[in-house]
């Protein structure tokens, strides 16, 4: 039953007059884009505050911290929204909805705010791809119908697929080049050409870090570490989604606002 039908005290949509039923449908069509923009804003702010520059500039997208931080941060809201869409509507679309909203907000911000307004090229600020990770998370939930199985299987796949779907885009930026007698990558050259308030000079030492002792490839180790943490984050945020969507809590909030208006 629609939100309008509930607001007028109708037990079902069939109890409404044709005029009220039409208004109910129009209200629902208006509510959907509002909810989408609200989810977009919340997920975008969350990722920008916690992942920040690691998932922003192309010369910050390294093979250790970027692979570790971004999946851990981005799985939080998909887990919470998955609870709402799955438990109340039986729709396995929560993760995809969040990631599509995130990418929509990021492209709007980076194109209009940085490319058009500030003059930074899109090749320096493109957002990471997460569609495949979101799809696999929703698919595991749909097939297993169990949040714990999704946390054990889907959450690690969410993190492991992150680097796999982004390396195709990122690989050309890691091609070596020589500039004024110095060896650097194309991503470094783009970063040097467009000066910012801070540059990641220390990233060039990461490849000589301790993770190299585990077999020579830091990206693989970082991906599996992110996969382990994603299992914990998914379970925690699934429970947060359960707490935040309790009808008693939501009803009490509406009752308090109604008393204030009265």
Q: What is the CATH number of the domain that holds 161?
A: 1.20.1450.10
Instruction: Kindly state whether residue 204 falls inside one of the protein's structural domains.
Output: yes
pLDDT at 203: 52
Contact 2, 27 (CB under 8 A): yes
Instruction: Kindly state whether residue 7 falls inside one of the protein's structural domains.
Output: no
pLDDT at 183: 84
Cα 165 to chain centroid, rounded? 15
pLDDT at 204: 52
Give the phi and the psi of residue 180 in degrees, each rounded to 5: 55, 40
The whole-angstrom separation of Cα 161 and Cα 155 is 10
pLDDT at 201: 53
Instruction: Kindly state whether residue 4 falls inside one of the protein's structural domains.
Output: no
User: How many structural domains is the chain composed of?
Assistant: 1
Write out the residue range of the structural domain in which residue 249 sits. Answer: 18-261
Instruction: Kindly state whether residue 96 falls inside one of the protein's structural domains.
Output: yes
The whole-angstrom separation of Cα 10 and Cα 50 is 44
What is the tens place of the pLDDT at every residue in 74-127?
Answer: 999 999 999 999 999 999 999 999 999 999 999 999 999 999 998 889 988 999
pLDDT at 7: 47
pLDDT at 8: 46
The whole-angstrom separation of Cα 115 and Cα 111 is 5
pLDDT at 136: 97
Q: How many CB atoms lie within 10 A of CB 167?
A: 14
User: pLDDT averaged over consecutive 10-residue blocks of the chain (262 residues)?
Assistant: 48 62 78 92 94 84 88 96 94 96 95 91 92 97 96 97 93 87 84 72 51 63 94 96 78 62 56
């Amino acid at each position: 039953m629609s939100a309008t039908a509930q607001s007028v005290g109708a037990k079902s949509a069939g109890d409404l007059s044709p005029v009220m039923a039409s208004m109910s449908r129009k209200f629902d069509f208006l509510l959907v884009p509002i909810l989408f923009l609200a989810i977009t804003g919340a997920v975008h702010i969350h990722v920008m505050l916690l992942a920040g520059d690691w998932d922003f500039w192309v010369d910050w997208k390294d093979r250790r911290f970027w692979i570790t931080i971004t999946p851990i941060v981005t799985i939080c809201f998909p887990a919470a929204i998955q609870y709402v869409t799955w438990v109340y509507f039986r729709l396995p679309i929560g993760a995809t909805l969040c990631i599509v909203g995130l990418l929509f907000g990021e492209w709007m911000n980076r194109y209009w705010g940085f490319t058009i307004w500030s003059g930074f090229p899109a090749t320096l600020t493109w957002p990471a791809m997460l569609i495949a990770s979101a799809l696999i998370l929703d698919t595991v939930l749909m097939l297993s119908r169990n949040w714990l199985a999704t946390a054990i299987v889907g959450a690690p796949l969410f993190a492991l697929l992150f680097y796999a779907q982004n390396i195709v885009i990122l690989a050309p930026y890691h091609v070596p080049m020589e500039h004024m007698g110095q060896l650097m990558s194309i991503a470094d050259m783009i970063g040097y050409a467009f000066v910012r308030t801070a540059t990641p000079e220390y990233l060039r030492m990461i490849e000589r870090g301790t993770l190299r002792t585990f077999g020579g490839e830091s990206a693989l180790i970082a991906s599996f570490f992110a996969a382990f943490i994603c299992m914990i984050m998914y379970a925690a945020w699934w429970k947060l989604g359960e707490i935040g969507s309790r009808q008693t809590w939501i009803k009490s909030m509406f009752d308090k606002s109604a008393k204030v208006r009265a």
